[in-house]
Amino acid sequence: MAFYVTTPIYYVNAEPHLGHAYTTIAADVLARHMRQRGEEVFFLTGTDEHGEPVTQAAEKLGITPRELGDRNAVHFRELAAKVNATNDFFIRTTDPEHEAVVAEVVTRIHDNGHVYEGTYEGWYCPRCADFKTDSELVDGNKCPIHLIVLEREKEDNWFFRLSAFQEPLERLYTERSDFVVPEIRFNEALSFIKGGLRDLSLSRARLKWGVPVPWDGSQVIYVWIDALLNYYSALSYARHGEDLTGRFWPASVHLIGKDILKFHAVIWPALLMAAEIDVPERVGIHGYLLMGEHKMSKSLGNVIDPFQVVDVYGEDALRFYVLREVRFGHDGEVSPEGFEQRYTSELANEYGNLASRTLAMIGRYRDGLVPKAEAATDLAVHFDGLAEQVCAELDRVELTLALDAVWQRVKRLNAYVQDEQPWKLAKDAGGAEQLDSVLYGLAEGLRVVSVLLLPYMPAAAERLLAALGAGERSLDSARFGAVGGGARIGEPGQLFPRVEPPEASAA
């Protein structure tokens, strides 16, 4: 089976921040998890480099949009590596191969009769690269997302007959109740469709920075249509000399933030239908990471720098934090204080200490060999169905619920140590058999949770699995009791050492 997961492609008009790292981390968790399930995975991320937001930002800096793209694409590529993302390709919409596919697909949409010439007038936000309806405006005539005053714009454009796809889209939503998850976003997209669809500009006349309209060199393709097509174009040239489209299209899941729902859940499937290309299987929507009450964004100046957090705490801690603190799919607040709190109480204490205590006791009491013993049924029972539960949650893009299911078992193992007090058993000559069972149960429990945590915290979980002498990483091996005792343990070092918070983030 093939699994194809994507992130949005990020605008190169700004430097990356934690909001961008968030989607990349989430997509990486799904990619790693599906590889553990034995699927053939393709994971795509990249940068969105055409259009007005990039042109305007470049103008401000006195450089060309291409120079700005070259400069900032590097940082987004670095961010993916920094959070340990295993993307198979990094697409840039300035890649000539991508531009060729855009020209080809819009030509097909044109030839299929879904494009006409017309005039558009409306409120335009250059930062969204999108027109706004009267009802969307806030404070008179401001963009609801960027809170900047909008101008009324009038343009002669080529139009995409989006309105003609109202019925096919409604049918799609009726037939596939999980086309968009979570449900609240499904309902939002469907009511947008039912509210009536207006045709959409397919091109821009005033802009120069984009893919030329194949049949009209005076205009460029609207940046959103160019950008959405990245998901499809990438497969045709990501691997040299090979076209992966047949293997991986349609995409299994597009992960995106809620601000770009309409583009992915309405416009994108309509464009694909118009071009007679299969629509994706699912669109998974996440909420905003907030600081204070506001969406974290460079323009509002309230950002956590993911590069700095990773330098100080490591990428596993950042990956864990963003997916644990805010329920995926919902909005939620993040803060340096909240981060440090979870780092200490959950990563260092609940997981790190549990691991080091367990390994130390096996070293001290059993000469470094995991005892060959039976685990207590009342411990084993807590792991029944866990791997299946994680799979089911991740299939619904519930990344936080899946992580929580695993973490409840981490807490359970901690409670088990407290209940059994193995250090007391070790002093009691009659407690040897019980101690064997407790130590085996702890090692096996730690092994199972670590296999399931690999997608979330790949480096730390891998170090612990190696120290437990565990060979298997597949999801099949995440069953309690799948591995018996006998392994020789090693030394993982401190998984989450104490760190001094950096001055800058404390300020």
Binding site for ligand MSP (CB under 6 A): 8-11, 19-20, 22-23, 48, 227-228, 230, 256-257, 259-260, 288-289, 295-297
Question: Which lies closer to ligand MSP via its Cβ, residue 23 or residue 36?
Answer: 23
Question: Which lies closer to ligand MSP via its Cβ, residue 23 or residue 356?
Answer: 23
The reply to whether 143 belongs to the active site is: yes
The reply to whether 391 belongs to the active site is: no
| Torsion angle, alpha carbons of 243, 217, 128, 190, to 10 | -60
Q: From the candidates 75, 258, 262, 298, which is the catalytic residue? A: 298
Task: Phi first, then psi: give them for residue 424, nearest 5 degrees.
Answer: -75, -40
d(CA 242, CA 248): 12
d(CA 200, CA 195): 15
The reply to whether 75 belongs to the active site is: no
d(CA 294, CA 325): 16
Which segments within 276-357 are labelled E, that is strand?
A: 283-286, 289-291, 294-295, 332-333
Q: How many helices (H) and strands (E) does the chain have?
A: 22, 16
Q: Rounded to whole angstroms, what are the CA distances from 373 to 136, 266, 365, 433?
A: 64, 56, 14, 8
The reply to whether 262 belongs to the active site is: no
Chain centroid, CA 364 distance in Å? 42
In single-letter form, the type of residue at position 472 comes to: E
The reply to whether 208 belongs to the active site is: no
The reply to whether 110 belongs to the active site is: no
In single-letter form, the type of residue at position 339 comes to: F
Question: Which lies closer to ligand MSP via its Cβ, residue 180 or residue 467?
Answer: 180
Kindly state the smallest distance separating residue 451's Cβ from ligand MSP, in Å: 29
d(CA 91, CA 397): 23
Kindly state the smallest distance separating residue 317's Cβ from ligand MSP, in Å: 18
Q: From the candidates 114, 125, 132, 264, which is the catalytic residue? A: 125
Question: Which lies closer to ligand MSP via its Cβ, residue 35 or residue 98?
Answer: 98
Q: From the candidates 20, 82, 114, 264, which is the catalytic residue? A: 20
Residue sitting closest to ligand MSP (CB): 257
Q: From the candidates 33, 82, 132, 143, which is the catalytic residue? A: 143
Kindly state the smallest distance separating residue 269's Cβ from ligand MSP, in Å: 13
Question: Which lies closer to ligand MSP via its Cβ, residue 39 or residue 136?
Answer: 136
Kindly state the smallest distance separating residue 175's Cβ from ligand MSP, in Å: 24
Kindly state the smallest distance separating residue 263's Cβ from ligand MSP, in Å: 7
Write out the two tokens for 506: 């404390």
d(CA 265, CA 252): 14
Question: Which lies closer to ligand MSP via its Cβ, residue 295 or residue 463?
Answer: 295
**C-alpha triplet 383, 388, 391: angle, nearest 5°:** 125
Question: Which lies closer to ligand MSP via its Cβ, residue 23 or residue 233?
Answer: 23
Q: Answer whether 287's CB lies under 8 Å from 257's CB.
A: yes
Kindly state the smallest distance separating residue 104's Cβ from ligand MSP, in Å: 18
Chain centroid, CA 241 distance in Å? 28
| Torsion angle, alpha carbons of 21, 10, 196, 278, to 10 | -90
Kindly state the smallest distance separating residue 76's Cβ from ligand MSP, in Å: 9
List residues with catalytic annotation: 17, 20, 125, 128, 143, 146, 295, 298
